[in-house]
């Protein structure tokens, strides 16, 4: 075995060098490196844990023959890890039976472990450890192996920032802004950048994520951003709008169908879940899923398995799940239109996007972004907005948020270009066509916003003869969202008006 050690060491350092390569996968490389160091030191367990400056664990991996994760976390001594981090030097426990930090750990004692070796890994942003266990005393060469693991830590510590950046995505504002722009998201407001930083962090954790917020706030774009900076970014991003799925096809669209399961299944049909294998499945308007489908979908969320329509055997798919909705889940659960157990599993992490009213300083930049986008799409020279028009747009209220603003900009471009104008003014932006803003008599922002929102919705419902679907399309909200707003503001049709 000793003759094998130099070859293992050579392979080990080759792997560390590969971490600096642009095309490498840092998670796999570190896992391989840990496997080699376990072999070199004759260990039974290898564990790497990395923490941020607040002490929160942001990444960990392990190497153990049976790969029993639960057993691993029961065996690991957090006391030794904490002491290693505190002292900043390698700790060696020659006998776990005599170490007072381990006397109460029955799992460890029953495993007959003899030696624990723990060495720190750190830079100015990250503190972590390489932790090894052996029931053979590391082959009686514990000091020699301590040198090996310290060399590992010495080589790996300078790579921590690059590793964290590759694994978790951007951490500084400039990088976040650059990547978000590449995914069609614009803004420099505190509310928006804080949301992007949260998204950049959560992108690393392979847990379910629920995006909430008003309609049109950019939930789809944020889901794409999270996928783009996550470890799954090389896999597919599959977007499904649940509100657009016909009730009789929802099951087939999501889960797929075997041949003959329904009239259109002339062959086995893969569903959206299968299409997202190795990547991210994004379910928009998840609150619109029928109750009958929710129970079946719950099995996939919990176990990663599902049954295609008409199938007798399950399929297993590894995909990250992100969902989005603008419904009130507490109300939906109380009204039995959404399962509480499914909600809890979809919202392990929940992030609420700010409304456009909370990021008004971004409106001018958003207008310029949409102007450039649609002028290029229409293949016309770039138009510009007057400063007064931009100021007017920044003062307006947008119940449809960013989506409504983009549609307004698009209409203004069409009006200006068809009239031969090269500058867009308030004439083109429908300044006098909306309802009045909140009255100064309203005492709070919330009351003012509610008064304006009620007036806005009522006017458009009346203009569209209370046709809910047509009104929803006009103001860029979903039908269910508009129905909720009608109930919220106690709006009623006068007798004799059309549906």
pLDDT tens-digit map of 376-424: 999 999 999 999 999 999 999 898 899 999 999 999 999 999 888 999 9
- The pLDDT, as a whole number, for residue 109 is 47
Please give the sequence-ordered ranges of beta strands (E in DSSP) within 64-173, or none if there are none.
91-93, 115-122, 127-134
Q: Which residue has the higher pLDDT, 7 or 190?
A: 190
- The pLDDT, as a whole number, for residue 336 is 92
Asked if the model's pLDDT at residue 448 lies above 80, the reply is: no
Asked if the model's pLDDT at residue 206 lies above 50, the reply is: yes
**Residues whose CB is less than 8 angstroms from the CB of residue 272 and which lie 6 or more positions away in sequence, other chains included:** 238, 240, 253, 254, 281
Tokens of 50: 């990395």
Asked if the model's pLDDT at residue 497 lies above 60, the reply is: no
Q: Quick one: pLDDT band at residue 199, thresholds 50, 70, 90? A: confident
pLDDT cut 70: percent of the chain above it: 75
Instruction: Give the Cα-Cα-Cα angle 114, 69, 18 (nearest 5 degrees).
Output: 90
What phi, psi does 181 have (nearest 5°)?
A: -65, -40
What's the CATH architecture for 358-424?
Answer: Orthogonal Bundle (1.10)
Handedness of CA 299, 300, 304, 308 (dihedral sign): positive
- The pLDDT, as a whole number, for residue 98 is 59
Asked if the model's pLDDT at residue 496 lies above 50, the reply is: no
pLDDT in tens, 286-333: 999 999 899 999 999 988 899 888 888 899 999 999 999 989 999 999
- In which element (H, E) is residue 71 found? helix 69-75
Asked if the model's pLDDT at residue 436 lies above 70, the reply is: no
Q: Rounded mean pLDDT of the chain?
A: 80
Of the candidate ranges 219-233, 292-306, 460-474, the one whose mean pLDDT is the lowest: 460-474
Q: Considering only the top CATH level, what class is 173-352?
A: alpha beta
What phi, psi does 284 have (nearest 5°)?
A: -85, 150
Q: How many CB atoms lie within 10 A of CB 348?
A: 14
Give me the residue label for tokens 């930083």: 197
Of the candidate ranges 16-20, 72-76, 290-294, 319-323, the one whose mean pLDDT is the lowest: 16-20
Asked if the model's pLDDT at residue 280 lies above 60, the reply is: yes
User: What's the CATH code, domain 2-167?
Assistant: 3.30.450.40
- The pLDDT, as a whole number, for residue 320 is 94
- The pLDDT, as a whole number, for residue 439 is 46
Query: pTM of the predicted model, to two decimals?
Result: 0.59
Longest dimension (CA), the chain: 94
- The pLDDT, as a whole number, for residue 414 is 93
- The pLDDT, as a whole number, for residue 373 is 93
When computed from its CA atoms, the radius of gyration of the chain, rounded to whole angstroms, is 29
Handedness of CA 90, 94, 99, 103 (dihedral sign): positive
Which range scores top for mean pLDDT: 52-61, 142-151, 189-198?
189-198
Q: Quote the DSSP letter at residue 356.
A: G
- The pLDDT, as a whole number, for residue 499 is 40
pLDDT in tens, 96-125: 655 665 555 444 444 455 688 899 988 877
Segment 458-477 shows an average pLDDT of 81
Asked if the model's pLDDT at residue 57 lies above 60, the reply is: yes
- The pLDDT, as a whole number, for residue 1 is 44
């Amino acid at each position: 075995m000793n003759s094998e050690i130099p070859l293992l060491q050579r392979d080990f350092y080759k792997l560390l060098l590969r971490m600096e390569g642009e095309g490498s996968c840092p998670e796999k490389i570190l896992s391989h490196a840990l496997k080699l160091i376990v072999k070199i030191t004759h260990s039974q367990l290898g564990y790497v844990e990395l923490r941020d400056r607040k002490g929160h664990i942001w990444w960990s991996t392990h190497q153990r023959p049976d790969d029993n994760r639960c057993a691993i976390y029961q065996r690991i001594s957090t006391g030794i890890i904490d002491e290693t981090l505190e002292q900043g030097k390698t700790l060696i426990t020659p006998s776990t039976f005599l170490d007072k930090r381990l006397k109460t750990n029955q799992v460890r004692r029953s495993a007959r472990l003899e030696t624990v070796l723990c060495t720190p890994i750190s830079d100015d942003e990250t503190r972590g450890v390489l932790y090894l266990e052996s029931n053979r005393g590391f082959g009686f060469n514990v000091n020699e192996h301590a040198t090996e693991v310290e060399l590992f830590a010495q080589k790996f510590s300078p790579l921590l920032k690059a590793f964290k950046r590759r694994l978790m995505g951007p951490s500084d504002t400039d990088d976040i802004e650059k990547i978000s722009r590449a995914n069609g998201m614009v803004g420099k407001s505190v509310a928006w950048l804080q949301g992007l930083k949260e998204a950049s962090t959560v992108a690393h954790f392979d847990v379910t994520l629920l995006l909430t917020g008003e309609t049109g706030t950019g939930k789809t774009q944020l889901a794409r951003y999270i996928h783009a900076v996550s470890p799954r970014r090389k896999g597919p991003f599959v977007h499904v709008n649940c509100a657009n799925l016909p009730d009789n096809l929802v099951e087939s669209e999501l889960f797929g169908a075997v041949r003959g399961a329904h009239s259109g299944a002339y062959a086995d049909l893969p569903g959206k879940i299968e299409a997202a294998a190795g990547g991210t499945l994004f379910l928009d308007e998840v609150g619109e899923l029928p109750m009958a489908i929710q129970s079946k979908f719950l099995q996939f969320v919990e176990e990663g398995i599902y049954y295609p329509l008409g199938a007798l055997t399950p399929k297993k798919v590894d995909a990250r799940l992100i969902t989005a909705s603008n419904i009130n889940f507490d109300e939906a659960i109380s009204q039995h239109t959404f399962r509480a157990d499914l909600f809890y599993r979809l919202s392990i992490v929940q992030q609420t996007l700010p409304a456009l009213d909370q990021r008004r300083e971004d409106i001018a930049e958003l207008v310029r972004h949409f102007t450039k986008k649609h002028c290029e799409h229409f293949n016309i020279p770039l138009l510009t907005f007057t400063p007064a028009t931009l100021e007017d747009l920044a003062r307006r209220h947008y119940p449809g948020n960013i989506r409504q603003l983009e549609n307004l900009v698009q209409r203004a471009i069409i009006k200006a270009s068809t009239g031969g104008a090269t500058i867009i003014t308030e004439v083109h932006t429908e300044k006098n066509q909306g309802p009045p803003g909140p009255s100064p008599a309203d005492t709070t922002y919330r009351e003012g916003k509610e008064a304006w929102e009620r007036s806005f919705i009522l006017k458009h419902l009346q203009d569209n003869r209370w046709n809910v679907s047509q009104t929803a399309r006009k103001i860029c909200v979903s039908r269910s969202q508009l129905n909720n707003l009608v109930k919220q503001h106690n709006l009623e049709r006068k007798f004799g008006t059309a549906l």
